[in-house]
Structure 1
């Protein structure tokens, strides 16, 4: 099984601590400092767009994740002594078909949801296709967004989940703690200021769905595909004035989002998605894989 590939002795567990605490500490300090200094993240993004343009701003937001991912891979290989494949999956090799299936399925779900929303309130959508801006956006997004989402999966559902499972000796603690912390890491996003704390239900619920995929499927492949599809869709197809990714997407949404949409996505759509995966990949022993002690 995925979590059982790795040593759980004291010296092995201690190797996790520098990277885990440095990254989470860095993120926490940024969030605390921005709140104490009353930094308006939307205004910061707007100022950066004025200076660098939307594509330049997006690139600035995404490039640090390439450094984080490279550092994580190097730490994993040279400090822990494991391969990237082992951090990715318990299978004999990475299952790319799983990544592509998850990506395609969630991208399709998003297209359906966009079509339904557009049909219900077309006045809230503005079509803004500009090929001279969209082509550079497409290139940047296709290269750097999968890097950004891959880092978050390798860290939260891979590295950090292992750490929490080993120190707690319980899968349930790892499942919920990593999902909650993943959600809280988005606390400084401009969406939180515009929509309120209710948006955290989506972030934590998303983290929980991704963690369930990882534990039930013994690997990160499904989570990698889902997360890449989610962020690419947001960057390329639809944006809002409060989105962290201010891009030249095909549509701009200027309507009002509400908590019911979040509830539908987290408590109805995510379970449907997990059900599809469970049937396709024959998931079994849910209680053991999600809640049994390590």
Structure 2
């Protein structure tokens, strides 16, 4: 009953509408002020500030500093979201996270370790198959600063996306629509389309959105089946952290002082399709066996209880 956890607070529709506006303002407007100020102090070129090109901005500020300020926007957005949930919805952070009595950190850790291992395995497999596509990029001092920034800030960035999309919006839309399939589809498409302005989309084409939307569906499914965000939180943090630390490229959202640099001309290939159509289904099988998932149709497409029915069931 993850979606019904919204009933543990005040769940009127207007609160969610205002919440989206407030969180977006904190995330995209107030959260961007430190980045804009840092860029303004670093360069006197209006063209650099107005370009919006991640490569140009990263070069102007320095990749580590740019990464920090970019991730800071998400951290500020997360603070706005959690405060709004606590004080306006009167809902606990735990009920925004899970239907369990307490957040299960073992689930977060398991998903993190599993996906980090698989990601590293795929990266080194690709290096073995196409070594000419990679060059060694390791420099100790900038890498240590990168690791410090990434380990602290990336989990905040990924948590912001999970709490906002698969927590706040999924619960809010679910209790308004009274079914599960629509919030699953809506939040999955939204997650994918949020990445449409990433530089890799411009470089590779819109076909890469198959990966982002497919990932959105995967994360939405494990959230509903597991009645909580824990697995999605661990998976998402592992995905972005390994990407930031291990491999960078001039055409990706994370341009960092990573261990390796991808110097290939990117194309839409197996590395986009295999995760969505092979690896994610296998992970669903692993998770379902490990956590005893049942009633897939009901959990993914069934009706959401009314507030009265939910509270009556909790009392019973």
The correspondence for 1:151, drawn from 134, 145, 160, is 160
Distance 1:115 1:205 in 2: 23
Query: By how many angstroms is 1:19 displaced?
Result: 2.0
The alignment yields a C-alpha RMSD, in angstroms, of 2.3
Q: Any residues of structure 2 matched to 1:51-90 within 5 Å, and which?
A: 51-90=60-99
Query: By how many angstroms is 1:26 displaced?
Result: 9.4
Conserved 8 A contact 1:238-1:250? yes
Deviates more, 1:2-11 or 1:189-198: 2-11
Q: Does 1:167 align with 2:195?
A: no
Q: Any residues of structure 2 matched to 1:103-142 within 5 Å, and which?
A: 103-142=112-151
Q: Does 1:178 align with 2:181?
A: no
Q: Any residues of structure 2 matched to 1:224-239 within 5 Å, and which?
A: 224-239=233-248
Distance 1:9 1:95 in 2: 21
Larger radius of gyration: 2
* TM-score normalized with structure 1 length: 0.91
Conserved 8 A contact 2:247-2:258? yes
Which consecutive unaligned segments of at least 5 residues does structure 2 have? 30-47, 305-316
Distance 1:10 1:77 in 2: 10
Deviates more, 1:278-287 or 1:258-267: 258-267
Conserved 8 A contact 1:137-1:248? yes
Which consecutive unaligned segments of at least 5 residues does structure 1 have? 30-38
Deviates more, 1:277-286 or 1:255-264: 255-264
Conserved 8 A contact 2:201-2:209? yes
The correspondence for 1:246, drawn from 255, 268, 271, is 255
Distance 1:85 1:269 in 2: 30
Deviates more, 1:43-52 or 1:75-84: 43-52
* TM-score normalized with structure 2 length: 0.85
- CA 1:48 to 1:182, structure 2 compared with 1: closer, same or farther past 3 Å? same
Distance 2:240 2:111 in 1: 13
**CA offset digits 1:80-131 (Å, max 9, x no partner):** 1111111111111111100000000000010111121111101101111100
Query: By how many angstroms is 1:50 displaced?
Result: 2.7
Query: By how many angstroms is 1:23 displaced?
Result: 4.9
Q: Does 1:282 align with 2:292?
A: yes
- CA 1:165 to 1:11, structure 2 compared with 1: closer, same or farther past 3 Å? closer
Q: Any residues of structure 2 matched to 1:183-202 within 5 Å, and which?
A: 183-202=192-211
How many matched pairs?
285
Q: Any residues of structure 2 matched to 1:21-100 within 5 Å, and which?
A: 21=21, 23=23, 44-100=53-109
Deviates more, 1:152-161 or 1:252-261: 252-261
Name the counterpart of 1:260: 270
Name the counterpart of 2:311: none
Conserved 8 A contact 2:192-2:209? yes
